[in-house]
A = this chain, B = another copy of it.
């Protein structure tokens, strides 16, 4: 069984992924993928994280990534990261029995028929979650936090939309979409795990 979790920033997708992996005895992949992708692409981890995690990709010139020739002296680094990401995700999906959070795994691992989940929440609960759990950004106003969430999600959407004809967050691209605004994540995990297991039988 493979589960992919796409998620709005601060919606609790990572927590759901981790807890599902624990409940179902599956391998869990999230930030550790950055290390592997950096290794594959021979690029600095911070740079890979910037491209794939921090919404940094949204600020890169797309035209650059697509039009510059790929030579040793003009490293087409964004493309390198994306190619490495595909290799790493496919290798993980090949092994099976895992939860992959983010990294466009829903699209990249599509041939392995994952159960594709999208996790989202309303602004207030995302702010609350962020303030409870993250140290970074503690000093930001609600307005600035929401702007940051939007930037990060925009980066995720852009990366995803490079690979898929369905926009990031479009329900047609997922088996299940879960709104965590009013949910006790820990409490629902056993039931969610059971439902996903049942869905995966026919997927």
- Where the two chains meet, the residues of A that have a C-beta atom closer than 8 Å to any C-beta of B are 118, 120, 122, 169, 171-172, 174-179, 182-184, 187-188, 191-192, 194-195, 197-199, 201-203
Please name 20 pairs of A and B residues whose Cβ atoms are closer than 8 Å in the assembled complex, sorted by A.
A118-B171, A120-B171, A122-B172, A169-B171, A171-B177, A172-B179, A175-B178, A175-B179, A176-B178, A176-B179, A182-B199, A182-B202, A182-B203, A183-B199, A183-B202, A183-B203, A184-B202, A187-B201, A188-B198, A188-B199
A176's partner among B122, B177, B202 (CB-CB below 8 A) is: B177
| Chain B residues within an 8 Å CB radius of A169 | 171
Please state the number of chain copies in the assembly: 2
| Chain B residues within an 8 Å CB radius of A194 | 191, 194-195
- Least CB separation from A169: chain B residue: B171
A184's partner among B171, B191, B197, B201 (CB-CB below 8 A) is: B201
